[in-house]
Amino acid sequence: MEELLRNSEKLTTVGQLAAGVAHEIRNPLTTLRGFLQLQRERRSIDLQHVDLMLSELERINLIVGEFLILAKPQAVLYQHKSIRRILGDVLSLLDSQANLHGIVFRTLWEEQDAQVYGEENQLKQVFINVLKNAIEAMEDGGTITLEQYSQSGNVVIIITDEGEGIPEELLPKLGEPFFTRKETGTGLGVMVSQRIIQAHKGTMDITSKAGEGTRVTIILPAAPERRNDTGGAQPHENQ
Ligand code: ADP
Ligand code: MG
């Protein structure tokens, strides 16, 4: 299976994705079955095993949850949205988690806000994924910088962290499904984010240096001038 996913050019078909998900879910399921059988044989419940089973269930839940974001075309509604407000909402959402890790957000906004035409929840998911990775990379705290400016019809958002970075040889693996270096990671955040940005006709670039930090640059087409958040709404298929 890993071979299949590696050989494919960054996952082109739903079939490959489904195969990958099935594979990733089978591992925790096997563990769950093993523990259940053991408890049945012993006719007793071991609380430590129950905790392990719960964490395996949580893993399945995380994997399925990330895929649902991509697999709900009817919930996708493209609208004119203020990029500043989307970023602001996400920052307040993650503020306490950042504080807890001794991390501060620094925002370098240009004076003028910009509008994008997109699906709010999906765009928020992208910034949540990117910022969570930044937070998780900065064990000793530090600063995460967010820049946003407009440039030749595009909105540019740059998120820079001072975390552990990614070794050069692993950079090509970013965006591959299930590539993770974390004990409890799903390895889906970057892939899902890239897919969402592509669906919005934008680009997402990641540069990184081990030991120094990581920079994620997201470029989205700017929406035409001044329409409010609900104006111009129309259903839009995701892929
Ligand atoms: P997950 O976070 O579940 O591991 P992601 O797809 O979000 O999955 O990220 C994949 C991997 O890419 C991470 O495990 C991590 O090793 C690396 N990575 C992503 N973003 C960063 C970052 N800002 N700093 C360091 N490593 C990162
Ligand atoms: Mg992640």
Distance of CA 180 from the midpoint of ligand 2 (Å): 8
Instruction: For residue 34, give every residue at least 6 positions away whose Cβ sits within 8 Å of its Cβ, in sequence order, or none.
Output: none
Tens of pLDDT, residue by residue over 164-173, are 999 999 999 9
Q: How far is CA 41 from CA 20, 36, 55, 141, in A?
A: 32, 9, 22, 47
Give the ligand at the shortest distance from the Cα of 175: 1
What is the pTM (predicted TM-score) of this model? 0.79
Residue nearest atom 7 in ligand 1 by C-alpha distance: 189
More confident residue, 71 or 141: 141
- pLDDT, residue 232, reads 44
Which one, of 81, 121, 86, 123, lies nearest residue 226 by Cα? 81
Residue 20: how many CB atoms within 10 A of its CB? 24
Decide whether any atom of ligand 1 lies within 6 Å of the 134 Cβ.
yes
- pLDDT, residue 133, reads 97
Residue 209: how many CB atoms within 10 A of its CB? 13
**Segments in 138-203 forming alpha helices (H):** 189-199
Give the ligand at the shortest distance from the Cα of 181: 1
Query: Using an 8 Å Cβ cutoff, are 104 and 94 in contact?
Result: no
Residue to mutate, 180, 194, 207, ligand 1, most ligand atoms under 8 Å from C-beta = 180
11 has a pLDDT exceeding 60: no
Distance of CA 116 from the midpoint of ligand 2 (Å): 24
Indicate the DSSP class of residue 222: B
